[in-house]
Each structure stands twice: as structure tokens, then as C-alpha cells.
A and B are shown apart, each in its own frame.
Chain A
């Protein structure tokens, strides 16, 4: 199957800071999670793939089009939905007007069909009842959903979501997961997040980025398996653990290289992620 996105050797520097370092990846339909610590280059990678910023080196195609050419970039953008990390709005617009504005920018020119599409995406994100309300009167979670509706309007084939669940309460996050899972049906969704639970629940594939480079690219099960036999329980903090914390039961959950005879525990995706970061030389905090 032809991948939706095929990138090779993407590099980007900000002054002396290396934000992306020879990143190569291929994305196909379904939800792919992008994990990494702060400053790992997740947002930069997403912005490059969303054609919001050009890379210094390397090449990529989206749906067979090369964004390094003017015509190619237009074609990619016609089939792309992008939710940035900090979406901005025109606060005096209603939710409907704002998504309609984005729809016009996405070249949906037939007014009747466009309005139908805007109503559809607003219903899809659960804002059908408040579509006439001004954006500045909406809660943070609702604004985030307006931004998601703006990303999904026009039924794009490739959707880039940059930390869409940040700042949402647990109920809103659950609702967002539902929306993202639905968005991933038949589309290629690239989801950047700090939430390993989001990845475990939503993604068929996960990419771990650290210091601008890909440290892991595989399934969530494969990332979890990296921690097999490397998570254990102990009564006291284990000095040899890469990370360890007291759990609700009072015992310590340790991740790293266990001592002989340790009481091994079932690993989680987060354990695999922490060990992957540790192997990449990133700071492990727990």
C-alpha cells in the first residue's frame, strides 16, 4: 500500500539548535502517535509535515505530492487538516463563522455545500448546539473542538493534531479520544501527545522522538515489550532503577535493570517509553 506520508532525512535547525535530525518515516491510514519529551521536536516535525514551515534538508511527499514545489504544496494543503498546538481564533466570530471562514480558505466555494459541511463537522465534534455562540464565550475544551472542526472541515485525508488534549479535563479528554478515533477511520492521523494513555488507546503505531531524531517506530505493543522484564516492585526505592515511584499500595514501582530475584511486574507503554528515552540519552523523569 502506498503510504500517505513518506519522509526521508528531514532536518531543521533554529540557529544552532537542531530541531529535527535526519527524520525518516512513513505514515499510512490509522492513528499514529508521536511521543517525546518537551523540546524533542514533535511540534516542529508536525509543522513541517503540515507544510506550515519548510525543512532545511530532506524530502517528503504527502499523498504523492511534493510540498517543496508551489503546486505540490497547494495539492497537499487541499487534502490536509491541521490542528496546531496553540490554535488561535478570531474571538468575535461564532463557531460556525470561524469554521466557515476556514472552509472558504480551504477552497470550499459552493456556499450551500460548504455550510452543510460546516454543520456536519460541528455536529461531529459535538458543537452543533452552540454553533452560533461566539468563540470568546466558549470554554477552553469547546474552543479546542472548534479548532478540531476547522481541521476536519473538507474531509481531509491527512490530519495533523498537535497535543489536542492538553488542558482538557478527563471527561473532555475521553470525548476527544472518541473524536480522534473516529477521525482515524479511513484517514491518516498523526497525533502528537504527552499522554501515553492516549497512544495506548488510540494508536496503531507510535513514533518516539528525542533530540529531534526518531528513537522508536513501531506498534504500541512493541514499545511496551521494550520494558518486558524491566519493571519490578520493591518495598523501598531501588537505587539501581532508572525511574521509580511509590504507588498507591505503598510499594515502589521501578523501571530499569532489575536486581536478581526481583518481583517483576507487567510493563505498560509508559514504561517502554521511559526506557526508550533513557536509551536515547534523554532525561527520565517520573
Chain B
């Protein structure tokens, strides 16, 4: 496994992560840059947007142009994807710490809660990518996963019922309940993601593969 680390690190789409991460840091710093840092009204939205930007960059993390060439090797897909995720984890942790530090401490939302939200966004992106690889045949599922994530992020605040609100302000009395829901959502997404890391031995009934000739 140690021998795989370096080549796998070289196969990763660092530039999409850098783009998403850079944009995310800009968004996290936006309240401070625009002078809204004192009131803090826009800080949760800025941090959520920052987390989304990073997650969009991470949606490309499992893209692999050599997927077909390495389709029949004994190294298991779970190991290969696991390595990719292990390489992402410290970068994501460092990036999120930096994003939080860009927000003045007095107006910073409760760190645990907002971190669960960010982790869920990242987990959604990676689970989406893992599912796309698990169920599909493409070498670059990233753009589709990023599009799906963006649409979900835009629609979910609009479509979420009031009783199930997820995007609440830090001072709102619904904050703890909302973050219980975020935690459950994170757990479900992680379980789905873990299931998608494996390579199927049998075909799923609803599998939507296209034949190689496009039929």
C-alpha cells in the first residue's frame, strides 16, 4: 500500500480541489472583506457557501482517466479509493480550519455544528462520486456529480419542510435539532459511500450501465 501512495497522489485532480478550496476561502473571508464581519449576519451563509465550493472541487476526486486500463487489477477498488480519501482527509481538515479562522471569533457560528454541515457537503460529493463509479462506467464522473451537488444545495433550502429545516441561523432555537438532523444525514451518506466503495460481484437490477457500443 505504501508503494501506491506516491503514484496515486500523482493521479489526483489537485487543481479542481485547489480551485474549489481557493474559491471557498474567498467566500469564507467575504464577510470580513466586505465589512460585514462585525454583525456576523452573513457569516453562516458564507461558511456554507465555502464548504459547498470545496465539496464541488472534491466531487472530481475519484475521476480516473486510467480507470478502464486498470479495471482488472487485483488491487481492490476499496483500497484504491480509500487511499484517495486518505490523501484528501488532512487537506480537507487543514482547509476547513483555515476557513474558520478567516471568520472573526466573536461572530463565528458554533464550530461543531457548522463543521457537521461542511462534512456532510464533502461526504455528499465523495459519496456521489463513489456511487457514480460503482454504478456507471465513466472515467470522469466529476462534472455530473458536481452539477448534482450544486442543484441539491440550491434546492434543498427551498424544498426542505419547515419542520425539517437544515439551514438555520446560529441563534435560532432550532439550531440543535437541525444539527441532529445534519448528523443523521452525515451518517446515512457515509454508510452509502462506504457501500459504494466496493466493486460489485453481481449486477444490480437497476444498474444503468450503457453497453460499450452505446446501445
Contacts and interface: CB of A to CB of B under 8 A. Distances in A.
Interface of A: 12, 14-15, 17, 19, 38-39, 41, 43-44, 47, 50-56, 68-70, 73-74, 77-78, 80, 82-93, 97-98, 100-102, 104-107, 109, 111, 147, 150, 160
Given A44-B212, A78-B74, A88-B66, A68 B3 contact: no
A50 B72 contact: yes
A207 to B, nearest CB: 17
B201 A44 contact: no
Contact of A88 (B139, B209, B212): B139
A-B pairs with lowest CB-CB distance, top 5: A43-B212, A105-B73, A52-B71, A84-B68, A88-B65
A98 B75 CA distance: 15
Contacts of A86: 68
Contacts of B213: 38-39, 43
Contact of A91 (B65, B73, B209): B65
B161 interface: no
A90 B14 CA distance: 13
Given A93-B10, A101-B7, A14 B66 contact: no
A41 B64 CA distance: 25
Nearest to A50: B72
A14 to B, nearest CB: 4
A69 B11 CA distance: 29
A105 B213 CA distance: 28
Nearest to A52: B71
Interface string B58-95: 00000011111111111110001000000000000000
A102 to B, nearest CB: 6
Contact of B215 (A14, A69, A78, A87): A14
Contacts of A14: 209-211, 215
B69 A87 contact: yes
Contacts of B11: 90, 101
23 contacts: A14-B215, A19-B215, A41-B211, A43-B213, A50-B71, A54-B200, A55-B203, A68-B201, A68-B202, A69-B201, A77-B73, A80-B72, A87-B66, A88-B66, A90-B11, A90-B65, A97-B7, A102-B73, A104-B3, A104-B75, A106-B73, A109-B3, A150-B69
A12 B209 CA distance: 11
A84 B71 contact: yes
Nearest to B199: A73
B38 interface: no
B64 to A, nearest CB: 8
A97 B4 CA distance: 12
A12 B204 CA distance: 12
A70 B7 CA distance: 26
A84 B11 CA distance: 19
Nearest to B80: A105
Contacts of A56: 203
Contacts of B3: 104, 109, 111
B69 A89 contact: yes
Given A54-B200, A68-B202, A44 B211 contact: yes
A51 B65 CA distance: 19
A155 B76 CA distance: 20
A99 to B, nearest CB: 10
A86 to B, nearest CB: 6
B211 A82 contact: no
A44 to B, nearest CB: 6
Contacts of A39: 211, 213, 215
Nearest to B74: A77
Nearest to A212: B211
B71 A106 contact: no
A48 to B, nearest CB: 10
Contacts of A73: 201
B72 A104 contact: no
Contacts of A52: 68, 71-72
Interface in B180-212: 200-203, 208-212
A97 B3 CA distance: 12
Nearest to A87: B69
Nearest to A98: B66
A222 B127 CA distance: 52
